[in-house]
């Protein structure tokens, strides 16, 4: 089976990967693909919804890439000691310890602060001359960045430097081909964890340092660095795209936006779920590794292969969602895979949903005539095929 290139460097693909995935789905649920330029061996891409759910929870598909032979193990840092890059029983242990501190009550307690930060950012945006702004810089990035930093207790994070590190990790360029961004962030977090251990507070990172399981187990220094890494990067990067992609979808479907305005309280939750399904923040999963031959969708994926699951393709599968390419805020909200499925379902999903709902409602109530700025220039898409979003979103009001 010849490999199909989905490295995401093609402008047409970046603008509309869904048409590309639809053609793949019509030919079958599993395909050989090139995920990034220079890949040693093609990977297997799962594009069908049922097959994606199966793959996301398949016990023979490992998330621990160390020792897989697919990547350079010399690039491993303490930041890799996280839940996303581990399998049971290690994953089970890490998730249990983190869940003790990352509780629903702690997340819900953030609601007033999320609203306050949103309102302050919108005040700043409203004061801009010319009634134009880049929505990413004005709201979609600083809101989740501020919230996750305050939640973790990260003091005075250099936002520009962190943004560079995070961008290079989720959409690598030649600037970080040697893993320098990953190492730099890992070293920064090591210093942060050490400082927190000496002077703990009431924040989540301090709570993770204090957390003990019933048998006395706790997170090691490297595991604390790994969890801080995962929560900081995943805790803001996906929400940036949830907000910006959601706003783009609503502005592109004024009829749906008009309906939403008639009943914010009743329709906003479902609208956020449809934003996640229709144009979610994560296009494709991170790698999984077949520990043995695995059959998915009638295709045998050989042991030792790398597997990528297309959340974007699965959530536009007409076999699962009627009129899948239609944006419909009345759609039954259950079943999308934007936050994954199974063991690795996003632990931060409740926080992302809250931030997305508050940001979108507050923005569109504050600026009822908000529109994409026609003078904003061509779209600039996030590179690669992991994330789905734009790097700039010029708006006017």
Q: Both tokens of residue 238?
A: 């996906």
Nearest-5° Cα angle at 326, 322 to 331: 60
Distance CA 344, CA 131 (A): 42
**Mean pLDDT, range 152-160, rounded to an integer:** 77
Backbone phi, then psi, for 45, in 5-degree steps? -110, 130
Query: DSSP readout, 271-303?
Result: HHHHHHHHS-SBSBPPPEEESS-EEETTEEEPT
Per-residue pLDDT for 14 more than 60? yes
Q: Nearest 10 degrees: CA dihedral of 90, 96, 102, 106?
A: 180
Q: According to the model, what pLDDT value does residue 114 have?
A: 97
Beta strands in 233-363 (DSSP E): 288-290, 294-296, 299-301, 306-309
By mean pLDDT, which of 86-100, 152-166, 243-257 is the weakest? Answer: 152-166
More confident residue, 8 or 333: 333
Bond into 185 cis (ω within 30): no
More confident residue, 221 or 246: 246
Distance CA 43, CA 62 (A): 14
By C-alpha distance, which of 40, 2, 73, 20 is closest to 310? 20
pLDDT band, very low/low/confident/very high, at 41 (cuts 50, 70, 90): confident
Q: According to the model, what pLDDT value does residue 181 have?
A: 85
Residue 11: C-alpha distances to residues 40, 240, 381, 391 (Å): 24, 21, 8, 14
Which is the CATH superfamily of the domain at 4-396? Cytochrome P450 (1.10.630.10)
**Radius of gyration of the chain, Cα coordinates, nearest whole angstrom:** 21
**Tens digits of residue pLDDT in 169-183:** 877 776 666 778 888
**Tens digits of residue pLDDT in 64-109:** 977 656 555 656 788 888 999 999 999 999 999 888 888 889 999 9
**Mean pLDDT, range 229-252, rounded to an integer:** 93
Hey, is 378 helix, strand or coil?
Answer: coil
Per-residue pLDDT for 62 more than 90? yes
Q: According to the model, what pLDDT value does residue 73 have?
A: 60
By C-alpha distance, which of 28, 29, 35, 84 is closest to 52? 29
**Mean pLDDT, range 22-39, rounded to an integer:** 86
């Amino acid at each position: 089976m010849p490999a199909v290139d989905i490295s995401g460097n093609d402008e047409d693909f970046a603008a509309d990967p869904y048409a590309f995935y639809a053609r793949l789905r019509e030919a079958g649920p599993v395909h050989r693909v090139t995920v990034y330029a220079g890949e040693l061996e093609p990977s297997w891409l799962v594009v069908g919804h049922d097959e994606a759910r199966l793959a996301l929870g398949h016990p023979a598909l490992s998330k621990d890439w160390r020792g897989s032979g697919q990547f350079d193990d010399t690039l491993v840092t303490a930041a890799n000691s996280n839940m996303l890059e581990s399998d049971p029983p290690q994953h089970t242990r890490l998730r249990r310890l983190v869940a003790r501190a990352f509780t629903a009550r702690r997340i819900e307690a953030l609601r007033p602060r999320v609203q306050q930060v949103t309102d302050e950012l919108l005040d700043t945006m409203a004061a801009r001359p010319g009634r134009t702004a880049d929505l990413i810089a004005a709201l979609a990035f600083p809101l989740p960045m501020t919230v996750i930093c305050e939640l973790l207790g990260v003091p005075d994070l250099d936002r520009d430097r962190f943004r560079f590190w995070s961008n290079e990790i989720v959409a690598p360029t030649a600037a970080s081909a040697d893993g320098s961004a990953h190492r730099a962030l890992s070293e920064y977090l090591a210093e942060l964890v050490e400082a927190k251990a000496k002077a703990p507070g009431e924040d989540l990172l301090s709570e993770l340092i204090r957390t003990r399981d019933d048998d006395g187990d706790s997170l090691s220094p490297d595991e604390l660095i790994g969890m801080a890494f995962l929560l900081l990067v995943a805790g803001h990067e996906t929400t940036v795209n949830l907000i910006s992609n959601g706003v783009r979808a609503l502005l592109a479907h004024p009829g749906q936006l008009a309906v939403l305005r008639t009943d914010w309280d009743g329709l906003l939750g479902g609208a956020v779920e449809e934003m996640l399904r229709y144009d979610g923040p994560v296009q494709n999963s991170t790698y999984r590794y077949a520990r043995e031959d695995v059959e998915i969708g009638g295709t045998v994926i050989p042991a030792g292969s790398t597997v990528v699951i297309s959340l974007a393709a699965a959530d536009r599968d007409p076999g699962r969602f009627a009129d899948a390419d239609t944006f419909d805020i009345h759609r039954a909200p259950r079943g999308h895979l934007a936050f994954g499925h199974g063991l690795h379902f996003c632990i931060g999903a409740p926080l992302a949903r809250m931030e997305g709902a508050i940001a979108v409602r507050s923005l569109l109530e504050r600026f009822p005539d908000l529109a994409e700025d026609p003078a904003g220039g061509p779209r600039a898409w996030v590179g690669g095929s992991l994330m789905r979003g734009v790097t700039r979103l010029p708006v006017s009001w």
